[in-house]
RNA sequence: UCCCCGGUAGCUCAAUGGUAGAGUACACGGCUGUUAACCGUGGUGUUGUAGGUUCGAGUCCUACCCGGGGAGCCA
């Protein structure tokens, strides 16, 4: 049918005869009226079947449709304040493509998280989940757009790796023919190599952590975007992450407002995301915690409650920089002015989502890096190629990693990252 | 790995140690404007598993399994 339209475009077809192809989301009947609520992946729309307007067979068919029946409906679009979304279709034609062979398990009522996660493949059809994942798609598009507009080259890093980037624990080990390999936990080392070849690069892909974490911020498989800039400094990374987050949020506000409304997101909180972001030296963050009544000792890393206390003081993301060297990865460059500190930065999202960005300036001196690798007990052989980057034209460089699911959770105002990826992989959950 | 909570009908949940129930979904009937519509009629259980205490266990005890929330670690 050539006049098929999508529900998100209904407003452009008022008073026209159109065809919708979709599924029955819900149905309400009242005597000589059936209200068929149809979804097509772009939204939901109400269609009205009036007994006087259609054949008895069609009215009977409409009355017996069950939830998630796949249907093609035809009728005239009209504006009506009583219709959800403001538009409805006066139905004149109805084709049942396939009736469900069994009762659809997910109903318009409360369900438990475990049940919904077991039915994730169907849960995706629900309004809220649909909105979250459409926003995720837009976030990913905005990420690519941002870097391309700034002259970054997209260079992907491998998923199979021979070694750990940040230590050997928490890696998924897999058989690799007669050898062992690990699923990557970061593409950074490869992004560094790419930056030496292309200048400004970013890699984007799934990463894996075999941490036995059971919290609303953790997945065992999550997506990370990691830009890396040759000749970049800590300051460059801080400016880039600020502009990056502003760009993403602006894009979502521009293009995904209907989805944000489905999620009942407070738009004012997103509209507040403008540069500059507050910057907090690690020392000052520690002071802030102590003044806030948390017994925190200098030198430690911040836990979830610490991050929440800090982020609650601001209405936009906070950049915390110059963390102690001891709690950061081996490749972080020390601060020339204070050997105990590193040229590192974490970005804490507002509203309790926690850290969404971690990055900094990398160690570019061969001898220092060799010593660090030995000090961390890492296998020198595995890092031979990485050290080549310091042998052949080493330059200062910096970059960061952004966790996509946490970013989507923050933008959507969703409690748990498991709803921010189509098929989450978590501790104790591998299906569907 | 540690701490806390839970597991009863397809789903959401009730049930002083004493006959295992309601709402919802589904089916049929009624109503021309419903917003998770409403009204009437219709039936569903190895109470997570295995032991134990008891005249009697969904309920108390022990172990295990599964799930949820949080911590640590991280994005």
Of A78 and A382, which is predicted with more confidence? Answer: A78
**Average pLDDT, rounded, for chain A:** 91
User: Is residue A70 over pLDDT 70?
Assistant: yes
B chain positions with any atom within 7 Å of a protein CB: 1-3, 10-13, 23-28, 30-38, 66-75
Which chain A residues 236-295 have CB under 7 A to strand B?
none
All domains of chain A in start order, with CATH: 7-98 (2.40.50.140), 120-420 (3.30.930.10)
* pLDDT score for A103: 83
How would residue A188 be classed by pLDDT, with cut points 50, 70 and 90?
A: very high
Query: What is the predicted pLDDT for the residue at A105?
Result: 87
Q: What is the pLDDT of residue A363?
A: 95
Closest nucleotide relative to residue A407's CA, C1' based: B75
pLDDT at A353: 84
A 353-372 residues, CB < 7 A, strand B:
354-358
Instruction: Name which residue leads in pLDDT, A424 or A430.
Output: A424
- Asked if strand B comes closer than 7 Å to A381 Cβ, the answer is no
Query: What CA–CA distance (Å, rounded) separates A392 from A357?
Result: 29
Check whether residue A67 has its CB closer than 7 Å to nucleic acid strand B. yes
A226 in contact with nucleic chain B (CB within 7 A): no
Checking if the pLDDT of A166 tops 70, the result is no
Tens digits of residue pLDDT in A416-427:
999 999 999 988
Query: pLDDT digit string (tens) for A341-390?
Result: 999 999 999 888 889 999 999 999 999 999 998 888 788 888 889 999 99
A428 touches strand B (CB under 7 A): yes
Retrieve residue A92's tokens: 């004149």
Which residue(s) pair with A47 in the sheet?
A36, A89
**How far in angstroms lies nucleotide B16's C1' from the CA of residue A345?**
59
ipTM given for this complex: 0.84
Distance, CA of A112 to C1' of B68, in Å: 9
What is the percent of chain A where pLDDT is above 90?
Answer: 63
Q: How many residues does chain A have?
A: 432
d(CA A43, CA A365): 54
* Cα dihedral A158/A162/A163/A165 (nearest 10): -10
Amino acid A216 CA to nucleotide B51 C1' distance, rounded Å: 36
Residue A176 has pLDDT above 90, yes or no: no
A296 touches strand B (CB under 7 A): no
Residue-wise pLDDT tens digits, A269-305: 999 999 899 999 999 999 999 888 888 888 888 988 8
Mean pLDDT of A179-208: 93
């Amino acid at each position: 049918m050539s006049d098929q339209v999508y529900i998100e475009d209904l407003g452009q077809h008022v008073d026209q005869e159109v065809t919708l192809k979709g599924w029955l989301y819900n149905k309400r009947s009242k005597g000589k009226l059936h209200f068929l609520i149809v979804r097509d992946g772009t939204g939901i729309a109400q269609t009205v079947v009036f007994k006087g307007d259609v054949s008895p067979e069609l009215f009977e068919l409409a009355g017996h449709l069950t939830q998630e029946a796949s249907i093609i409906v035809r009728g005239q679009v009209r504006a009506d304040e009583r219709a959800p979304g403001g538009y409805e279709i006066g139905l004149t034609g109805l084709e049942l493509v396939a009736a469900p062979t069994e009762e659809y398990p997910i109903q318009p009522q409360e369900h438990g998280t475990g049940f919904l996660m077991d039915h994730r493949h169907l849960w995706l059809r629900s309004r809220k989940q649909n909105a979250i994942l459409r926003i995720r798609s837009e976030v990913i598009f905005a990420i690519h757009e941002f870097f391309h507009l700034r002259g970054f080259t997209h260079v992907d890093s491998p998923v199979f790796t021979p070694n750990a980037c940040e230590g050997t624990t928490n890696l998924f080990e897999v058989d690799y023919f007669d050898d062992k390999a690990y699923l990557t936990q970061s593409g950074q080392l490869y992004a560094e190599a790419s930056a030496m070849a292309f200048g400004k690069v970013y890699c984007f892909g799934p990463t894996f952590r075999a941490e036995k974490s059971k919290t609303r911020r953790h997945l065992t498989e999550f997506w990370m975007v990691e830009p890396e800039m040759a000749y970049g400094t800590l300051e460059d990374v801080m400016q880039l992450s600020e502009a990056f987050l502003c760009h993403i949020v602006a894009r979502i506000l521009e293009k995904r407002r209907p989805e944000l409304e489905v999620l009942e997101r407070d738009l004012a909180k997103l509209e507040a995301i403008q540069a500059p972001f507050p910057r907090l030296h690690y020392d000052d963050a520690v002071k802030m915690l102590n003044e806030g009544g948390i017994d925190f000792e200098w030198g430690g890393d911040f836990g979830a409650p610490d991050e929440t206390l800090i982020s609650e003081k601001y209405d936009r993301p906070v950049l915390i920089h110059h963390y102690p060297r001891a709690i950061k990865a081996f490749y972080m460059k020390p601060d020339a002015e204070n050997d105990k500190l590193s040229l590192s930065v974490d970005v804490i999202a507002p509203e309790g989502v926690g850290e969404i960005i971690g990055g900094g300036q990398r160690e570019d001196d061969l001898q220092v890096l060799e010593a660090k690798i030995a000090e961390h007990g890492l296998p020198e052989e595995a890092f031979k190629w990485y050290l080549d980057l310091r042998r052949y034209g080493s330059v200062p460089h910096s970059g960061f990693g952004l966790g996509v699911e946490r970013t989507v959770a923050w933008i959507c105002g969703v409690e748990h990252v498991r709803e921010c990826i189509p098929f989450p992989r978590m501790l104790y959950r591998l299906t569907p």
